[in-house]
Structure 1
Amino acid sequence: MDNPIDPSARPFRAPAPVPHATPLGFAGFLRTATRNPLEIWGTRAFKEPYIRGSWLGVPNIVINDPAGVRHCMVDNARNYVMQPLRQRLLRPLLRDGLLTAEGPLWRRTRKAIAPVFTPRHIAGFTDAMEVRSRRAADRLAEQEGTVTDAAHELTLLTFDILQATLFSDDIASEPEAFARSTQQFLGSMGRIDPLDLLGAPAFLPRLRRLKGRKSMLYFRGLIADTIARRRVQIERDPDGAPNDLLSLLVKADGLSSGEIEDNIITFIGAGHETTARSLTWTLYLLSQAPDERALVEAELDTLLPTLTDPNEWADKLVHTRAAFEEALRLYPPAPSLNRTALAADSTGGVDIPAGSTVLVMPWLIHRHEMLWDRPDHFIPSRFLPGNRESIDRFQYLPFGIGPRVCIGAGFALHEGVIALASLLRGLRFDYAGGAAPEVVQRITIQPLGGMPMRVSRR
């Protein structure tokens, strides 16, 4: 368990669906999972290291024990492939992108993309992250008052950062239109349909996703145009083309135009939507925890004037980073990491038959009573130097784990801290909703209906 928290402290309890005490039954599970998958979990899932069950005759094993996570996701990772339900949900969106590709295609794609995300290369992006974040802060300062949806504003910011860094401002799209299409695309296409849960063939239409088809066509047309322009640029002047993610994909051996398109859409979804959601939750949590916000503001007031290189911020701004990491714990960008066992296995005394579904759920592990003190509460000090070292590597999984760990984890951490620091150095965000936000899972974990906030200068 992480370091015990001062018992006299009164931290903020972060909103989440209440675990049910009795089984949902077949029909109840189907209704609940299609409405909000976070609501399917009962109290046992937050208390026990392993949970055994079955769905449509397939054994399901939920693994909350860090040793079991390590065994299945790292030590014996070759035995575990992408689970079919996950693929039925994501492949219509991402096709052969890095998150859904498997086997030789996944290895070839990851090798092609890896140079963009080395620490040296990420360091070269941090100035642009700071410039675009400062621009967003200035824009919000000008519209001081209630912002209908802070999540939308942060989507604009993270798209701007993505544009400037990974695509060298080469995606020709009006930001507002892009942000709206992103929401429609991931919000409708990323919803579980009852047919997915029942294992129905892919050719049967998922009615819940029909609304997302227009935005999907918009995305694919936009990206196809972007790829075509960059190909022409590389052919005309190979040395003058930007050395960014887009160029690396276009130049990569063995990737078709469709596969390049799939990966760009993957990075648009995974590379800015997840960070925007994490920033949204961080601002909300800080607005509900005045003492924690005061620590962050004091740190920014004291240290930021002395830190001229944004590449240092993630290491030096320890309270700002801790608030962001605690938000990632409470609302993990990837709430589920689901696999299927190719061959029989066992871990922690639990048998895993061949063909079983293995569920490693950051949503459960990050709020598990066995692993965290006051797991449902916002306590950034868990992640301060001296405390963070006691957290097991396999109990904190905001970017996944094992061979398929998020390739952009370092990028996202720098982006999150730089954006948060740039916004909070001169602004204050207060939650403006009438009730606590309702927490739902689509692809990412989102506040249903957005996140209204009042923005004021401080």
Structure 2
Amino acid sequence: MDMRPEPFEPPAPIPRTVPPSKLEIIRTVFRNPLELWGEPSYTLPWIMTSFFGEKTLIVNDPGLIKYLLVDNAQNYKMAVVRQLVLRPILRDGLLTAEGAVWRRSRKAVAPIFTPRHAKGFASQMLAQSEKYAEKYEGADGTVFDIGNDMTELAFAILSETLFSGEIVTSSNNFADDVDDLLHSMGRVDPMDLLRAPAWVPRITRIGGAKVLGKFRRIVRDTMEMRQKRMESGADNAPNDFLTLLLRAAGPDGLSMEEIEDNILTFIGAGHETTARALAWTLYCVSNSPHVRDAMEAEIDQVLATGSDPVEWLELMPWTRAAFEEAMRLYPPAPSINREAISDDVWTSPKGERVEIPKDVTILVMPWTLHRHSLLWQKPRAFMPERFLPENRDSIHRFQYLPFGAGPRICIGATFAMQEAIIALGVLMHRFRFDMTEDTKPWPVQRLTTQPSNGLALRVTARRPASSPS
């Protein structure tokens, strides 16, 4: 008999049972789009609906998702609303560029993110994780904002691995700057829902102009410093992501503006997804003692053997499963938005036809897909067992999309997975993270799924830093 308690159900909006009014849609989308979705979005394979006179197809069927994002991806471009939200921040960065500009950017950054190259970053990820863990040294029940801390840790790892620690910023509050940027710029404005042209002012984003300008200055200063090193001699500049991008400049490569946009994309958003997923993982694990016990046991065992950190991803199945389950419940990118270029039709294996008219907006939402009653047992519960090696085959490739799918799948997926497991291994080997009475996070959709109200956890030392096991 299984004597374990019922699995932990972390906080999330309850599906609506009554459709919202237009005014309520505007208010909810601005406040938190995750609170908008009704029961059908969590129970039906697809829904054709309408928002402000615009037809919208909400898709949760894995077969249809594969068709839209892979099989006939060329017929689907980025949705207008998504671009109205993100292009003011990222312009022609990899997340927002389309067509030839996107292809040039993808080609330029791809070499640094091949699985083989990404594995070469493992030692740097380990060093930065161990360095950051010193912050908790001597902790005996001290409460930290883990959401903020994981942003700082992920930024330190990204800075060291992709930019050789040479991002030109004097800010001691980088995590706060990221929060400010995404709070003001990474959310839907009512004018976006009405599809107003980009030149129409978005009142809700006026406050974000200052911090966006700050980020752009950081990028320009970083580029200028590296260019000077590259010009002073071939051996003076590290052969990292930044140097790779600057070498791609030219008539047949990237413009300096496109390089700036891509650097901003990785500095401002590239680490944010991993940071949020790490914080949600530690929160969910703190509420699941049997999961934490399994993770601590395997982490202690692996670290006691002195295994190379590049191997941790394969040697820590429980740790990997917990991280993947946290990304299921709190997907770093909670929505994937497309728009049909021309009329299309998809036929399911059962013969059901889905008509997809030209210009219809497509919503593939990992938020609802990952919590869908047709696809998951106890969909609202934190159950890492789903992702253990012996159970993975039961998960359809297109029912779980933490990194997207198709040509625009997240280029840093291998990098992020390795980073997360190394960080969790270091932190959970040395410390235990527990809930407090004041830990009441609420998931809010901005660019990522963020914990509103912070994510306060009590940190207690498990073993000293010098201990090998």
Specify the TM-score bucket, using the shorter chain as the normaliser.
over 0.9
CA contact (8 A) 2:58 2:362 kept: yes
User: Which one of the candidate residues 6, 9, 13 is aligned to 1:13?
Assistant: 9
Partner of 1:381: 385
In structure 2, the partner of 1:333 is 332
**2:28 and 2:437 mapped to 1: Cα distance?**
25
Deviations 1:397-449 (A, max 9, x none): 00000000000000000001100111000101112243631111111101112
Letter in 1 for 2:451: P
* Residue 401 (structure 1) aligned with residue 405 (structure 2): yes
Residue in 1 aligned with 2:300?
301
Aligned to 1:97: 93
Shift of 1:267: 0.7
Tell me what 1:184 maps to.
Answer: 180
Residue 451 of structure 1 is matched in structure 2 by: 455
Give the corresponding residue for 2:281: 282
| Alpha-carbon offset, residue 334 of structure 1 | 0.7
The offset of 1:217, in angstroms, is 1.0
Q: Write the distance in 2 (CA, Å) between the matches of 1:381 and 1:175.
A: 40
Preserved contact between residue 128 and residue 161 of structure 1 (Cα < 8 Å): yes
Post-superposition offset of 1:9: 5.4
Residue 353 (structure 1) aligned with residue 352 (structure 2): no
Within 2, Cα distance between the matches of 1:180 and 1:29?
29
Aligned length: 453
Aligned to 2:224: 228
Q: Map Cα deviations across residues 30-77 of structure 1 (whole Å, 9 max, x no partner).
A: 111111000110011000000110123221001100000000100000
Give yes or no for contact 2:76–2:338 (8 Å, CA) kept in 1. Answer: yes
Aligned: 1:310 with 2:290? no
Aligned to 2:259: 260
With 81-90 and 229-238 compared, the bigger mean Cα shift is at 229-238
Q: Which moved more, 1:46-55 or 1:184-193?
A: 184-193
CA distance in 2, matches of 1:36, 1:110: 31
Q: Is residue 426 of structure 1 aligned with residue 430 of structure 2?
A: yes
Map of 1:7-406 to 2, 5 A cutoff?
A: 10-174=6-170, 176-252=172-248, 253=250, 254-347=253-346, 348=348, 349-406=353-410
Cα distance, 1:308 vs structure 2: 2.7
CA shift, 1:172, in A, is 2.3
Distance 1:186 1:435 in 2: 22
Distance 2:154 2:284 in 1: 19
Corresponding residue of 1:3: none
Supply the AA of the counterpart residue of 1:370: L
Query: Structure 1: how far apart are the matches of 2:299 and 2:389?
Result: 17
Report the secondary structure of 2:389's partner residue: coil
| RMSD between aligned residues | 1.4
Q: Which residue of 2 aligns with 1:414?
A: 418
Q: Is the 8 A contact 2:439 2:455 kept in 1?
A: no
Residue type of the alignment partner of 1:39:
E
Report the Cα distance in structure 1 between the residues aligned to 2:53 and 2:190, rounded to whole angstroms: 17
Q: State the secondary structure of the residue aligned to 2:192.
A: helix
Q: Distance in 2 between matches of 1:435 and 1:136?
A: 22
| Contact 2:41–2:368 (8 Å) recurs in 1 | yes
Q: After superposition, give the CA deviation of every residue in 1:62-112 in whole Å (9 maximum; x if it has no partner).
A: 110000000010000000000000000000110110000000010011001
Between 35-44 and 134-143, the greater mean CA deviation after superposition: 134-143
Q: 1: CA distance between counterparts of 2:397 and 2:268?
A: 26
SS of residue paired to 2:206: helix
SS in 1 for 2:417: helix
Task: Give 1:285 shift.
Answer: 0.1
SS of equivalent residue, structure 1 residue 358: strand
1:134 CA drift (Å) = 0.9
Q: 110-119 or 177-186: which moved more?
A: 177-186
Match of 2:118, SS state, is: helix
**Does the 8 Å CA contact 2:128/2:153 hold for their aligned counterparts?**
yes
2:403 aligned partner, one-letter code: F
Residue 397 of structure 1 aligns to a residue whose secondary structure is coil
Q: 1:68 to 1:340 in 2, by over 3 A?
A: same
Distance 1:408 1:323 in 2: 19
Matches of 1:447 and 1:178 in 2, distance apart? 17
Q: Is the 8 A contact 1:156 1:176 kept in 2?
A: no
CA contact (8 A) 1:168 1:242 kept: yes
| Superposed CA offset, 1:325-377 (max 9, x none) | 10011101111111000011122311110010011111111000000111110
Letter in 2 for 1:388: R
Instruction: Tell me how far apart the structure 2 counterparts of residues 67 and 17 of structure 1 sit (CA, whole Å).
Output: 27
* Counterpart code for 2:384: P
| CA deviation after TM superposition for structure 1 residue 148, in Å | 4.2
- Does the Cα contact within 8 Å between 2:438 and 2:456 map onto a contact in 1? no
Identity %, equivalent residues = 51
The answer to whether the 8 Å contact 2:439/2:456 transfers is no
Displacement of 1:187: 1.9
> Hey, what's the Cα distance between the residues in 2 that align with 1:176 and 1:375?
39
Q: Cα 1:7–1:344, aligned 2, differ >3 Å: closer, same or farther?
A: farther
Query: How far did residue 18 of structure 1 move?
Result: 0.9
Gaps of 5+ in 1: 1-5
